Chain A
Amino acid sequence: MASYILRRFIGSVVVMWAVATLVFFMLRLVPGDPIAAMLADAGGPEEMEAMHRRLGLDRALVVQYGIWFWNMLQGDLGSSIYGSRIPVTQIIVEAIPRTLSLSLLAFVIAMVIAVPAGILSATRRNTLTDNTVSFFAFLGLSMPDFWLAILLIIVFAANLQWLPAIGYTPIDEGLWEWFRHLILPAIAIGTAFSAIIARMIRSSLLEVLSSDYMRTARSKGLTPWMLMWGHALPNAMIPVITVMGIAFALLISGAVVVENVFAIKGLGRVLIEGILNRDYPVVQGAVLVVSAIFVFSNLLVDLLYGVIDPRIRLH
Chain B
Amino acid sequence: MTDISTPHDTAAPPKRRSRLMSTLAADRKAQAGLAVLVLFLLAGIFAPLLAQFDPNEMTLDMMGGLSWQHPLGTDDLGRDLLSRILYGTRVSLFIGFATVALALVIGVTLGLVAGYFGGWVDMVIMRYIDLQWAFPNFIIAVYLVAVFGTGLLNVIVAISLAFVDDFARIARSMTLTLREEQYIDAARVLGFSKARTLLIHVMPNAVAPIIVQATVSVSYAILGEASLSFLGLGVDANTPTWGLILADGRGFITRAWWLGVFPGLAIMLVVLSINFIGDWLRDALDVRQQV
A residues with a Cβ closer than 8 A to B are 15, 18-19, 23, 26-27, 29-31, 135, 138-139, 141-147, 150-151, 153-154, 158-159, 203, 242-243, 246, 249-250, 252-253, 256-257, 260, 271-272, 275-276, 283, 287, 290-291, 294-295, 298, 301-302, 305, 312, 315
Report the bound CA distance from A312 to B276 in whole Å: 33
Cβ–Cβ < 8 Å partners of A150 in chain B: 246, 250, 253, 260, 264
Report the bound CA distance from A275 to B275 in whole Å: 32
Cβ–Cβ < 8 Å partners of A242 in chain B: 1
Cβ–Cβ < 8 Å partners of A15 in chain B: 130-131, 134
Q: Is the CB of B275 within 8 A of A257?
A: no
Shortest beta-carbon distance, A91 to chain B, in Å?
18
Cβ–Cβ < 8 Å partners of A250 in chain B: 136
Report the bound CA distance from A30 to B254 in whole Å: 37
Q: Which of A154, A242, A253 has the most chain B CB atoms closer than 10 A to its own CB?
A: A253
CB of B164 within 8 Å of the partner chain: no
Cβ–Cβ < 8 Å partners of A295 in chain B: 134
Report the bound CA distance from A246 to B134 in whole Å: 10
Closest residue to B137 on the A side, CB-wise?
Answer: A253
Shortest beta-carbon distance, B237 to chain A, in Å?
15
Q: Which of B35-66 contact A (CB under 8 A)?
A: none
Q: List 24 A-B contacts (CB under 8 A).
A: A19-B135, A26-B143, A26-B147, A27-B147, A29-B147, A141-B271, A143-B271, A144-B226, A144-B268, A146-B227, A147-B263, A150-B250, A150-B253, A150-B260, A154-B253, A154-B260, A158-B253, A253-B136, A253-B138, A257-B227, A257-B230, A257-B231, A298-B134, A302-B1
Q: Is the CB of A246 within 8 A of B291?
A: yes
Shortest beta-carbon distance, A259 to chain B, in Å?
11
Interface of chain B, main secondary structure: helix
CB of B146 within 8 Å of the partner chain: yes
Q: Is the CB of B139 within 8 A of A253?
A: yes
With contacts A151-B264, A250-B136, A291-B134 known, what are 7 further pairs, Cβ within 8 A? A19-B135, A30-B146, A142-B272, A147-B268, A150-B264, A153-B253, A249-B136
Given contacts A146-B246, A246-B291, contact A154 B254 (CB under 8 A): yes
Shortest beta-carbon distance, A145 to chain B, in Å?
8
Q: Which of B130, B135, B279 has the most chain A CB atoms closer than 10 A to its own CB?
A: B135
Q: Is the CB of B139 within 8 A of A290?
A: yes
Cβ–Cβ < 8 Å partners of A142 in chain B: 219, 268-269, 271-272, 275
B residues with a Cβ closer than 8 A to A are 1-2, 29, 130-131, 133-136, 138-139, 142-143, 146-147, 149, 219, 223, 226-227, 230-233, 243, 246, 250, 253-254, 257, 260-261, 263-264, 267-269, 271-272, 275-276, 279, 289, 291
Cβ–Cβ < 8 Å partners of A143 in chain B: 264, 268, 271
Given contacts A154-B254, A256-B138, A272-B142, contact A147 B264 (CB under 8 A): yes
Interface of chain A, main secondary structure: helix
Q: Is the CB of B264 within 8 A of A287?
A: no
Q: Is the CB of B267 within 8 A of A252?
A: no
Closest residue to B261 on the A side, CB-wise?
Answer: A151
Cβ–Cβ < 8 Å partners of A294 in chain B: 134-136, 139
Cβ–Cβ < 8 Å partners of B142 in chain A: 256, 271-272, 275
Report the bound CA distance from A209 to B135 in whole Å: 34
Closest residue to B146 on the A side, CB-wise?
Answer: A275
Shortest beta-carbon distance, B48 to chain A, in Å?
26
Shortest beta-carbon distance, A240 to chain B, in Å?
11
Closest residue to B257 on the A side, CB-wise?
Answer: A154
Q: Is the CB of A159 within 8 A of B272?
A: no
Cβ–Cβ < 8 Å partners of A29 in chain B: 147
Cβ–Cβ < 8 Å partners of A139 in chain B: 268, 272
Cβ–Cβ < 8 Å partners of A145 in chain B: 227
Shortest beta-carbon distance, A76 to chain B, in Å?
23
Report the bound CA distance from A18 to B124 in whole Å: 13
Cβ–Cβ < 8 Å partners of A144 in chain B: 223, 226-227, 230, 243, 264, 267-268, 271
Could you say which of B136, B246, B271 contacts A252, with CB atoms under 8 Å apart? Answer: B136
Report the bound CA distance from A196 to B226 in whole Å: 21
Q: Is the CB of B147 within 8 A of A30?
A: yes
Given contacts A151-B264, A294-B136, contact A138 B143 (CB under 8 A): no
Q: Is the CB of B275 within 8 A of A138?
A: yes
Shortest beta-carbon distance, A52 to chain B, in Å?
22
Shortest beta-carbon distance, A122 to chain B, in Å?
16
Report the bound CA distance from A290 to B138 in whole Å: 13
Report the bound CA distance from A67 to B1 in whole Å: 37
Report the bound CA distance from A277 to B3 in whole Å: 39
Given contacts A257-B230, A257-B231, A275-B142, contact A19 B267 (CB under 8 A): no
Cβ–Cβ < 8 Å partners of A252 in chain B: 136, 139
Could you say which of A243, A246, A256 contacts B139, with CB atoms under 8 Å apart? Answer: A256
